[in-house]
Structures are given as structure tokens and as C-alpha cells.
Amino acid sequence: MERKASTARSDLEEILADETAEPKALPLSLLQDITGDFSDDQQIGSGGFAVVYKGMIGNRAVAVKRLSNALMDETEFHREVQCLMRVKHKNVVRFLGYCADRQGSMEEFDKKLVMADVHERLLCFEYIPKGSLDKYIMDASREWGTCYKIIKGICEGLQYLHENHIVHLDLKPANILLDDNMAPKITDFGLSRCFDENQSRDITKTILGTMGYLAPEHREGGVIAHSADLYSLGVIIIEILTGQKGYQATDDVIESWSDRLEGSQRDTLCKQIRVCYETALECRDFDPKKRPTSALTIVDRLHEMETIQVKNTFKLRAFSSSVKKLRKGAIGILEVDILSARGLVSMKDKEGGLTDPYCVVKYGEKWVRTGTLFATAVPQWNEQYTWNVLDLNTVVTVAVFDDCHLSSSHGGDDHQMGKVRIRLATLETNRMYTQHYPLMVLTRTGLKKTGELHLAVRFTCRSWAKMLATYGKPLPPTIHIHHTDPITMPQVDPLWLQAEAVQRMVTRLARAEPPLRREVVEYMLDVDPQMFSLRRSQSNFQRIASLYSGATAVAKWFDDICEWKNPLSTILVHVLFLYLVCYPQLILPMVLVLVVMIGVWNYPRRPRNPPHIDTVLSYADQAQPDELEEEFDTFSTSTPDDIVKLRYDRLRSVAGRLQRELGDLAMHAERAQSLLSWRDHRVTPIFIMLSLVVAVVLYWTPLKVVVMVMGLYFLLPSRFRPSRRRTSMVFNLYSRLPSKDDSML
């Protein structure tokens, strides 16, 4: 017997040392020996079904669970051992061995001695020193980092159990132990059920468990399924977050934690708390179908949230480290003096009222706000702000707002009165620009001029060498970081990305003193231009058209040269052309000299002041009322159906014209492709033979002669060329080439 006990002790020591070792059957004598014959001094816990003792194997501790004979039969014991033998996970308490001992004992019964069977059923586990989760929940000073680690660990442990077809059925804080690192470990599988691979649910008439954690379908109908554990999980998460099982509003839960969170990470951690609490409420839904589909879904949700937060943290750290490097090499100082305003028009509903104006200035990540001046149309702020300039390719934005929160008679959002954007690259170095900038806002009824803002702006250069060197450096990391850290598919949607960015900025600036409200942040960040606007589409079309106006002017000048409208210019062009043909090495220097001449010519016409909002370029004066109504419509639309139908028809018309232009581009490309694709069996051989003849001619003819002949031909006056009213033979041939239009439905 002693030899058997010694062997069992060695086996148990090996199991403790090797985490991959399988649990084994242990003799009762060994468990009695290591627990002092189940001494009361070694007792560390008790419940309705068992008593837990601490046992010592050398210098290692184990936990021995002695089950009650009266409350657990042989089948339930076998079921628990079966479940424990199947699990091995970092978030499930490690099972070391079991003992099922039956001995005969003479006992007195009805004044007679009878031989009775004494059953001993014991389970041996690793010893977890920190105790159970219910004790930690009572700690009012618990930290969120530890709480989140516990929540995530429980979810991962439950995911492992469900993947191994085990339903716990008694998940509660008392059955979750915490190790030295505060990692949770699920224990007590006395009520668990092990399903077959093809089994997902069962029905029982015996309802056991702890009230408050039992799922409604299990408590009332005896349904055993994975969703029952998810209900218990939701209750546990709520307890970890609030210290109690009852429902609380999400915002109240977040507010109760916000004061305990570190300021620099408050936004990130509040989002973690929100996700965890909303997931818990979803798990606690009365309808099992409305709960998460599995524990894996919850784990994936937590991992996805962590991935986004890690990416954002990485971006912020990358930006911060880059900015620190840039700060060491700041190229200059930006000074902005907000002097005054004049002629301000009240944006409130009252007629003839005065404004309560204040200014907000944004440059980079720094936001500043002036004081609010009460009831005046000619405010005098006289406030100065300075920034270190890291890059000239940046913009300072100054906006004026009418404060609607000073008086209780007004309310709602602060009204924007206009803004000024100044790009630092348009400023001359060390020059003070002082001028009145017109303020205007575009509303549903049209363009409204609200006054003028008097600003003084100056950029002072510290080092010309550093300033010029910035033009050869990449843009700041916030602009180009997507090349090294691509955004995920949900972030591809610009509306989602915009809403996420604005929400973070609003949350941060709402804690400023005085706070900046959402409408102010959205106006400063130009949120609205993300939506479709026919006015902006027309403006962008005119911007593109204006870029080609130079090419149009060159074409007209060339036509005048060919027509000899200015004989002196025509003769000079002919001489220059022949000279460049004879000396082609002068072409590039001549082009560069021409660029220099254009730059010198435009110098006296350079802008004297920073450019401001151009109402003509913006099509603000020409926009129709219906176009403005569409531009300021909400998302999703709140417009009546008949107006939406008219807008849709108009959009279809515009899209139809665009579609036709795209079709024409495709047709011309397909015609060029058909020259060699033998779609036309007569044109292709003609083109091939013509190409061969031209190749032979060009091979034997000097290049200078070819260029000279072609140039002189194009410079010929119209009287020596075919009439322009007649299209050329080449154009006629090209227009007859086939495209794939015939194959389109």
C-alpha cells in the first residue's frame, strides 16, 4: 500500500511539473495524506455539493475537491470527470486527477451492525491562490485593465468549452478563479453536459444552477444549449462593470468609469467599456436567438476592437514621434492676430438683434477659442496666437460663430458666420498681412454675407535652408501613413471614416474650457463637402475647364501664325523652327528659357494678399434654390418623395451625359485598337502596308528632313492646304473603323 501511494505521489508530482501530462486516477490514501486526512485547517472553500481542501505535494500546492455523497450520484460524477478530461486551456482550471473509492464499513443501523458501502469521490486541481471572481467584484478600486483582461479570458475559455461541445450550465463569479496574474480560470463542471459532435441542445427535467445566472429557457423549459452559458456570461460581465446584476444605462456605466481612467487613454478605454457592456446586454436578452451566435463571435468582436485601437495607437505614436523630430527642426513661426470684425449680422431668429460672436482658430492639432463678446456687431478681440511651423503645406482656419448658449431664451447650435482659410505657402516670408476678410455662409436660401473679419497674419522664417529642404521631404505622416498601414475594408467607406474621426475630435474638444461643441468641430473640419452637391460638381468642372484654357490659347495663337495675321511673328516662328531643326540640342534650353520668361512676366501680377473664398469659382451666386436644398438635405433624406423623384431624374440626366462621354472615349480607343485586330478585313492590311512603306521612307530619309517637311506643312497658310470645311482623309478613315458598340445590349 505504501509503495502504491509513493508511486501515485510521484505521478502527481510529474503531472504538476509537466503541463502536457494527462490526468490520472489517484488513490484515496494519497489525497488523505496531502490534505491531513481532510483536516478542517486545510479547508479553503465549501458549497452545497462539495468541500475544497488545500493539499501539499512537496513545495507545490493542489486543490482537492471532496464531493458530497448525498447530492451527487455515480452518473453525475462520471459526467464531470468526462468533461474535465476533455479540457486543457489557459482559462480553464487545470485538472490533475480523480478518485472514485468504494469501501465496506460496519455501521449501526436499526440497532444492528450492517456492512455499508462508503463512496468517496474526489477531484484534484491546480491550486489558484487569488480565490474566486466574486471577491474581486466587491473591490470598489478595481482597475479597468484587469477587468478587461478577466472579461476577455472568460470569453476565450467559454469559447474553448463550446468548441469542445461542453455546456457549463453553472457559470458564475464563484466558479471563476483568478491566478497570480489575475487571469481567469473557469472551474466546477458538476452540472456540465458533454455533447456529441452532431448535438447542439438537450432537454432536462432537473433544473439545477444558481438563480440570477440561469438562462430563462433553461430555468423554465429545461433547455440545455450554448446560449444558456452566454446568458450567464452577460450577467457576469455586467457584474464586473457595475458591481451588481441589475440593468444600468450605458452612458451611466461609462461615466462611472471615466473618472478612474487615465486621461490620455480615456477615449479608447471608454470605447472598450461601451463594447463590453453592450455585448453583455445582448447576451442577457430574453430571446436566445437575439444573443450572439457563439462565444467566438464575442471574442472576434473584442479582437476587432483591439486591432482598430492598436492601429490607431500606432498611428498616433508614429505621428507623435515624427512630430517630435519635426519640432526639433521647426522652420518658422506663424503669428495670427484676431483684431476685430465689423458689420456682423445676427444669425439668431430675432430681427434686428445683435450677435454674440466668438472666433475659433485651428492650425494642425491645436485649437484655440477667443472669448465671447456680448451683443455687438463690431467686436474687438485683439488676441494673438503663435504656432511653430513644421511644414508650409499647411492651412490655418479662422471661423466666427454666433453664441446661442449665453441666454436661456435662445438655444440650439451655435450659428456659423463664415470662415477664412490661409495656406502658409501663399504667404511671403517675414511680411505682415493685415486686411479685412469677407465673411459669408451658404444656406438653403442662398449666399449670405455676414460681415468682415479683420486679421493680421505673418510667417517668420527661422532658417531658409530648413524651409527649402521641406519641399523635398514627404508629407506629414497623417497624410501618407496609409501607404505603410492600409486601412481596413470598413474604413474604405468615407462616411464611416469621417463619422469616426469627427466623433473622436468632438469627444476630446468637448472637455476643453470653454468646450467646443459638435457643430463647431464639424464646420471647422469641413464635414459637409463629403456629400453630393450639384453646385460643387459644376464648380469642379469649371476648374478642370480653366486648366485647359492655356492649351486653347496656344492653339489659337498657332492658328494666327499659320494665317499670317501678324507677319513678323510668323516669320520669327519659321526662322526659330528651322534653327531648332538644324540644332536640336538647343530645344531643351529654349524651353527652359521660355519657362523663365513666363515666370518673370507673371511676377508683377502675383497675388498681393492671400487668396480668399471665391464666390464665382464656388458657383455660390449662380446656384439654384433647389440645388441648395439638395446640398443641405440630411442623410438619409428628409425631402418629400415628389422632390426626391425630380432630383433623381436630374441626376440620371447628368449621369447619362457622363455615361455617353465615357462610351465615346471607349469607342475611340477601340477604333485605334481595331487597326491591328483585323476587325475590318480591308482596313487592317491597308494600314499594315502603309506602315511598312512609311518605315522604309523614314529609314532612308534623314530625321531632320522629315521634321522640317512636317513642320512646314503644318505652318502652311490655309490657302495652300485643303479647305477646312472638308474633313481629312485620315479622319474619314478613322471614323469608319469598327468599335464594340454593336456588341453592347
DSSP letters for 305-355: HHHHHHHHHHHHHHHHHHHHHHHHT--EEEEEEEEEEESPPP-SSSTTPPP
What is the mean pLDDT of the segment spanning 4-18? 80
DSSP letters for 557-617: HHHHHHTTSSHHHHHHHHHHHHHHHH-GGGHHHHHHHHHHHHHHHHGGGS-SS-----TTT
Average pLDDT score, the chain = 80
**What is the C-alpha separation between 617 and 535, in angstroms, rounded?**
10
- For residue 309, name the pLDDT band (cuts at 50, 70, 90): low
For residue 407, is pLDDT > 60?
A: no
What is the mean pLDDT of the segment spanning 480-493? 43
Q: Do 351 and 480 lie in a common domain?
A: yes
* Of the residues 126, 147, 173, the one at which a domain ends: 126
For residue 521, is pLDDT > 90?
A: no
pLDDT in tens, 446-469: 888 889 999 999 999 888 888 888
Q: Do 148 and 112 lie in a common domain?
A: no
Radius of gyration of the chain (CA): 41
Q: Do 368 and 341 lie in a common domain?
A: yes
User: What does the pLDDT read at residue 523?
Assistant: 85
Residue 16's contacts (CB-CB under 8 Å, 6 or more residues apart) are 57, 60, 62, 96, 126
* Strand partners for 362: 367, 397
CATH number at residue 61: 3.30.200.20
Residue at 26 is within a domain: yes
427, 600 contact by CB (below 8 A): no
Q: Which residue has the higher pLDDT, 436 or 637?
A: 436
Residue at 742 is within a domain: yes
Packing angle, helices 295-328 and 266-283, rounded to 10: 170
Residues that constitute the known binding site: 65
**What is the C-alpha separation between 97 and 84, in angstroms, rounded?**
9
Q: Do 355 and 447 lie in a common domain?
A: yes
pLDDT in tens, 166-197: 888 889 998 999 988 889 999 888 788 888 77
Percentage of the chain modeled with pLDDT above 90: 12
For residue 491, is pLDDT > 50?
A: no
Residue at 528 is within a domain: no
User: What does the pLDDT read at residue 176?
Assistant: 92
Q: Which residue has the higher pLDDT, 16 or 619?
A: 16
- For residue 268, name the pLDDT band (cuts at 50, 70, 90): confident
Element (H, E) at 553: helix 549-562
**What is the C-alpha separation between 356 and 403, in angstroms, rounded?**
5
What is the mean pLDDT of the segment spanning 572-591? 84
Residue at 592 is within a domain: yes
CATH number at residue 449: 2.60.40.150
Residue at 706 is within a domain: yes
Element (H, E) at 269: helix 266-283
Q: Do 122 and 141 lie in a common domain?
A: no
Q: Do 261 and 148 lie in a common domain?
A: yes
User: What does the pLDDT read at residue 486?
Assistant: 45
Percentage of the chain modeled with pLDDT above 70: 85
- For residue 5, name the pLDDT band (cuts at 50, 70, 90): low
Residues that constitute the known binding site for ATP: 65
pLDDT in tens, 37-68: 888 888 888 776 788 899 988 888 899 988 87
Residue at 56 is within a domain: yes
Q: Do 248 and 392 lie in a common domain?
A: no
Q: Which residue has the higher pLDDT, 216 or 473?
A: 216
User: What does the pLDDT read at residue 492?
Assistant: 42
pLDDT in tens, 119-151: 888 989 999 888 889 888 888 778 888 999 999
Residue at 643 is within a domain: no
User: What does the pLDDT read at residue 530?
Assistant: 58
pLDDT in tens, 665-686: 888 888 888 888 888 888 888 8
* Of the residues 126, 143, 158, the one at which a domain ends: 126
User: What does the pLDDT read at residue 511?
Assistant: 67
Residue at 647 is within a domain: no
Q: Do 23 and 116 lie in a common domain?
A: yes
Q: Report in angstroms the alpha-carbon separations of 63 from 44, 122, 574.
A: 9, 10, 104
**What is the C-alpha separation between 619 and 538, in angstroms, rounded?**
7
* Of the residues 576, 608, 631, the one at which a domain ends: 631
Amino acid at the residue 680: D
Residue 395's contacts (CB-CB under 8 Å, 6 or more residues apart) are 363, 421, 422, 423, 424
Q: Do 108 and 226 lie in a common domain?
A: no
Amino acid at the residue 480: H
Element (H, E) at 162: helix 144-163
Q: Do 589 and 686 lie in a common domain?
A: no
Q: Give the dihedral sign, CA 344/350/356/360.
A: negative
User: What does the pLDDT read at residue 725?
Assistant: 52
CATH number at residue 280: 1.10.510.10
**What is the C-alpha separation between 235 and 486, in angstroms, rounded?**
38
pLDDT in tens, 82-133: 888 888 888 999 888 999 887 776 666 666 776 677 788 898 999 988 888 9
Q: Do 618 and 668 lie in a common domain?
A: no
What is the mean pLDDT of the segment spanning 293-316? 70
Q: Do 276 and 160 lie in a common domain?
A: yes
Range of the domain at 357: 333-486
User: What does the pLDDT read at residue 488?
Assistant: 47
What is the mean pLDDT of the segment spanning 346-364? 77
Please tell me the total count of domains within the chain. Answer: 5
* Strand partners for 67: 50
For residue 724, is pLDDT > 60?
A: no
User: What does the pLDDT read at residue 316?
Assistant: 44
For residue 493, is pLDDT > 50?
A: no
